[in-house]
């Protein structure tokens, strides 16, 4: 295909503004997917994505489009995730495009991730087409949304396209705007080959499948290619495009988007962001890379049954093949036994991995409360990173501690500014600025400790703003703060998996609340169980779980065997996700109790 007829673009938006639905309509209008075959959200193929209505992995798809003047075009659409945890995926996809559709929900207006994603797109120099979506809804206010994008971003109302991704209204005009406004790729087929790996996937037969955007030159089946980051060479066995199924092609040329397989067995040989070149006509300069993904949140994952340890390791290895951002290393807990300390991009990423381990790999897991990475300066002059609260050295060994802070941008109606500022204050936030986006919408800028966001910031933000506030954050850096380690003793024995790192001023409150919560969550045992919260060897709170008196089976009057069996089975069911800690049985919820404290 003549390169001047290619358009590579992506869709960016705040979550739920209609990115996936719009992608579906574009597929349908260009005939990539038959209307009859159209299941909702074709690009969100993972079950979990559909259920949760989010897009995790970026996907690419090729569309054939015939413009009104009869000219044929080839459009490559790259879908991007909208959640803050997956910013790095967004960034990868953007680098493969020349343009972006900025989708704004006409019933909601500009939200925090609208801004964050637009800034990312502008960093990559993309041509932006503002798209006002959901105009079919009675509550849509396109006029106001147009005014907003003009005031906030400076886009003229005439530049925006009004659509309904649901009914298809405006989609034709949008397709016309894509070919008119988004520039064709710049590279040349006659230059030395440069292809950018923007994603990869592991296939047990073909090996690694690298998703590539060709910037210069071409790649054919049988070509020897070189990965510029590692210098490793491979022979191309398969090339293809996403139409939307993987469809084989003979070659990929400058400007195109597709995939390649080359019997690559190790995912580390196809680093996302790396440049592929051909050994025949190698380029001297790799393409600019991406921001690499760095885990920000850690938690311990332990199998409920110790025999599942190797299965858990195998499952994590498998998941890692398609998820460069997931990290894990073996960890031992006196309470939980052998498990792994796993690193994630954020809470959603963590939940998704946990759910996939349980669903797709049939594992029963105990997860410890999520923690950030602390930097500890020891009295002997050394520094170390702590990813697990129970690894924090004793009081006397610590000179000072640093914790990660983020820049948080919160967008909300001005009526809620009071309660939300209060929330940020409670979360140890530092007020930076407040800006009126329009007469009634405010952009609040705070610096917040990441650890405080992990706990329940998002839920509280939503409840205190009646669902109207949205927020986005990016990593700011490490700062010294006054933190202490809070330990929990059950039956007089410390439970390392329940330790937490908390701010000194909040330690008493936390200790008391945590002990109370644990008392609620840990079922009664046949004996009395004291719960103690300890800071610096000082007990700051104590609760007691009273002993269980009655035998549960007594209810069955001894007679009815089937009822008895049923009850035992029910109990067994309930035992799932329980861990025997010494003589005390502790349910999964107890390990998350620290997240539920007000």
Q: Measured from the CB of residue 17, what is the shortest distance to ligand GDP in angstroms?
A: 5
Query: CB 23 → Mg ion: shortest distance, Å?
Result: 8
Residue 270 binds: one of Mg ion, ligand GDP, none (C-beta under 5 to 8 A by kind): none
C-beta closer to ligand GDP: residue 21 or 200: 21
Shortest Å, Cβ 53 to ligand GDP:
5
Tell me whether residue 24 is annotated as binding: no
φ and ψ at residue 571, rounded to 5 degrees: -65, -40
Helix-helix angle 19-29:171-181, to 10 degrees? 90
Decide whether 411 or 501 has the Cβ nearer to ligand GDP.
411
The DSSP string of 107-168 is TT-S-HHHHHHHHHHHHTT-EEEEEEE-TTSTT--HHHHHHHHHHHH---GGG-EE--TTT-
Phi and psi torsions of 25, nearest 5°: -65, -40
With CB atoms as reference, the residue minimizing the distance to Mg ion is 20
Helix (H, G, I), strand (E, B) or coil at 88: helix
How far apart CA 227 and CA 269 sit, in angstroms, is: 7
Query: CA distances (Å), 559 to each of 341, 388, 566, 568, in order?
Result: 48, 50, 13, 14
Helix (H, G, I), strand (E, B), or coil: what is residue 393? coil
Q: 40 vs 235, which CB is nearer to ligand GDP?
A: 40
Do 453 and 297 contact (CB within 8 A), yes or no?
no
Closer CB to ligand GDP, 105 or 403, in the complex: 105
164 binds, among ligand GDP, Mg ion, none (CB under 5 to 8 A by kind): ligand GDP
Contacting residues toward Mg ion, per CB under 5 A: 20, 55
Distance from C-alpha of 102 to C-alpha of 6, rounded to nearest angstrom = 20
> Any known ligand binding at 442?
no
CA distance 377 to 384: 7
Q: Residue 543 gets which letter from DSSP?
A: E
Nearer to Mg ion, 23 or 408 (CB): 23
Answer with the entry of ligand GDP, Mg ion, none that 356 interacts with (C-beta below 5 to 8 A by kind). Answer: none
Instruction: Give the C-alpha separation, 199 to 120, whole Å.
Output: 18
252: DSSP letter: E
Token digits of residue 17: 């503004």
Q: How far is the CB of 40 from ligand GDP (least distance, A)?
A: 8
Chain residues binding ligand GDP by CB under 6 A are 13, 15-21, 53, 55, 82, 133-134, 136-137, 164-166
| CA dist 570 → 94, 438, 523, 544, 580 (Å) | 51, 56, 15, 27, 18
Please state whether beta strands 337-344 and 374-378 pair in parallel, antiparallel, or not at all (unpaired): unpaired
Closest CA to 324 of 229, 221, 457: 229
Answer yes or no: is 17 a known binding residue: yes
Q: Shortest distance, CB of residue 394 to ligand GDP, whole angstroms?
A: 46
CB of 435 to ligand GDP, least distance (A): 25
- By beta-carbon proximity to ligand GDP, the closer residue of 60 and 373 is 60
C-beta of 134: minimal distance to ligand GDP in Å?
4
CB of 171 to ligand GDP, least distance (A): 10
Tell me: is residue 558 an annotated ligand-binding position. no
Residue 407 bridge partners (DSSP): 447, 474
- Binds 165: which of ligand GDP, Mg ion, none (CB < 5-8 Å by kind): ligand GDP
Q: 571: Cβ–Cβ under 8 A, 6 or more apart, which residues? A: 552
- Report whether 21 belongs to an annotated binding site: yes
Residue 424 CB, nearest approach to ligand GDP (Å): 26
Binding site annotation covers 572?
A: no
In the complex with Mg ion, which residue's Cβ is closer, 58 or 534? 58
Of 18 and 429, nearer to ligand GDP (C-beta) is: 18
Closest CA to 23 of 183, 209, 174: 174
What is the rounded end-to-end Cα distance, in angstroms, of the chain? 60
- Is 21 or 465 the residue whose CB approaches ligand GDP more closely? 21
| 20 marked ligand binding residue | yes
Provide the annotated binding site. 16-21, 133-136
Provide the annotated binding site for GTP. 16-21, 133-136
């Amino acid at each position: 295909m003549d390169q001047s007829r290619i358009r590579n673009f992506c869709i960016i938006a705040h979550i739920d503004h209609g990115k996936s639905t719009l992608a579906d309509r574009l597929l349908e209008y260009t005939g990539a997917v038959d209307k009859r075959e159209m299941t909702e959200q074709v690009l969100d193929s993972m079950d979990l994505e559909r259920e949760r209505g989010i897009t995790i992995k970026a996907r690419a798809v090729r569309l054939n489009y015939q413009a009104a003047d009869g000219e044929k075009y080839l459009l490559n659409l790259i879908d991007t995730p909208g959640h803050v945890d997956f910013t790095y995926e967004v960034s990868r996809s953007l680098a493969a495009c020349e343009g972006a559709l900025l989708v704004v929900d006409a019933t909601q207006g500009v939200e925090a991730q609208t801004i964050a994603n637009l800034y990312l797109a502008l960093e990559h120099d993309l041509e932006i087409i503002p798209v006002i979506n959901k105009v079919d809804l009675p509550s849509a206010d396109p006029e106001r949304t147009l005014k907003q994008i003009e005031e906030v971003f400076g886009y003229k109302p005439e530049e925006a396209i009004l659509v309904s991704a649901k009914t298809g209204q405006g989609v034709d005009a949008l397709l016309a705007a894509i070919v008119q406004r988004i520039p064709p790729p710049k590279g040349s087929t006659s230059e030395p080959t440069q292809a950018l790996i923007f994603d990869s996937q592991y296939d047990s037969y073909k090996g690694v499948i690298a998703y590539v955007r060709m910037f210069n030159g071409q790649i054919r089946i049988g070509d020897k290619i070189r990965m510029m980051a590692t210098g490793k060479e491979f022979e191309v066995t398969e090339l293809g495009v996403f139409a939307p199924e993987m469809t084989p092609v003979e070659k990929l040329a400058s400007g195109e988007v597709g995939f390649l397989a080359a019997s690559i067995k190790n995912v580390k040989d196809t680093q996302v962001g790396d440049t592929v070149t051909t050994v025949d006509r190698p380029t001297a300069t790799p393409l600019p890379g991406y921001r690499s993904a760095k885990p920000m949140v850690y938690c311990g994952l332990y199998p409920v049954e110790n025999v599942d340890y190797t299965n858990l390791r195998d499952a994590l290895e498998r998941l890692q093949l398609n998820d460069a951002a997931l990290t894990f290393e073996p960890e031992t807990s006196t309470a939980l036994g052998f498990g792994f300390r796993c690193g994630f991009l954020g809470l959603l990423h963590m939940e998704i991995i946990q759910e996939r381990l349980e669903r797709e790999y049939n594992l029963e897991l105990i997860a410890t409360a999520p923690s950030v990475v602390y930097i500890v300066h020891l009295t002997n002059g050394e520094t170390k990173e702590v990813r697990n609260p129970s690894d924090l050295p004793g009081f006397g060994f610590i000179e000072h501690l640093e914790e990660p802070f983020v820049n948080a941008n919160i967008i909300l109606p001005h009526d809620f500014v009071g309660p939300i500022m209060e929330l940020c204050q409670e979360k140890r936030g530092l007020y930076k600025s407040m800006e009126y986006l329009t007469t009634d919408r405010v952009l609040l800028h705070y610096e917040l400790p990441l650890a405080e966001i992990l706990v329940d910031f998002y839920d509280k933000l939503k409840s205190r703003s009646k669902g109207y506030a949205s927020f986005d954050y990016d990593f700011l850096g490490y700062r010294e703060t006054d933190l202490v380690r809070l330990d929990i003793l059950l039956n007089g024995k410390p439970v390392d998996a329940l330790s937490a790192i908390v701010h000194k001023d909040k330690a008493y409150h936390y200790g008391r609340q945590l002990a109370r919560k644990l008392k609620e969550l840990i079922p009664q045992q046949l004996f009395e169980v004291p719960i103690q919260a300890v800071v610096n060897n000082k007990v700051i709170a104590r609760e007691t779980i009273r002993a269980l008196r009655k035998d549960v089976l007594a209810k069955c009057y001894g007679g009815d065997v089937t009822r008895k069996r049923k009850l035992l089975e029910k109990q067994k069911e309930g035992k799932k996700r329980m861990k025997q800690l010494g003589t005390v049985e502790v349910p999964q919820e107890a390990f998350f109790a620290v997240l539920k404290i007000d």
